[in-house]
Amino acid sequence: MLSLPAAEKKTIALYQQKRISGGKARHLAGMNIMEFQRELSQRGITVNYGVEDFQEDLKENFTKLGRTITVVSDTSPITNLAAVGQLDLLR
């Protein structure tokens, strides 16, 4: 485990306390998803991946593809995809 700068340590602490989402924590720490999850694993921190994280990751990936997505509710992510006609992208 590498020693992280204080800002990254604070970001991970906020994530562990469930005060910020994984997407927000990764962004603030300047890490991609694999780096962030590796860091959490090395520190024995459970990954908290909920609907909000899924929606953030989905939006980020659609943006990278030059597409947009609208989250229509805070219910099931699959319901959201079906509602905006994007469910076929999961195949």
The pLDDT of residue 14 is: 92
Range(s) of the domain holding residue 10: 1-49
The pLDDT of residue 46 is: 85
Q: pTM of the predicted model, to two decimals?
A: 0.55
User: Within the chain, which residues score under 70 in pLDDT?
Assistant: 1-3, 68-91
CB 62 within 8 A of CB 69: yes
Q: CA-CA distance, 36 to 40, in Å (whole number)?
A: 6
Structural domain contains residue 75: no
Q: CA-CA distance, 63 to 80, in Å (whole number)?
A: 17
Q: CA-CA distance, 63 to 23, in Å (whole number)?
A: 14
Total domains in the fold of the chain: 1
Nearest one of 85, 86, 83, 65 to 74, comparing CA atoms? 83
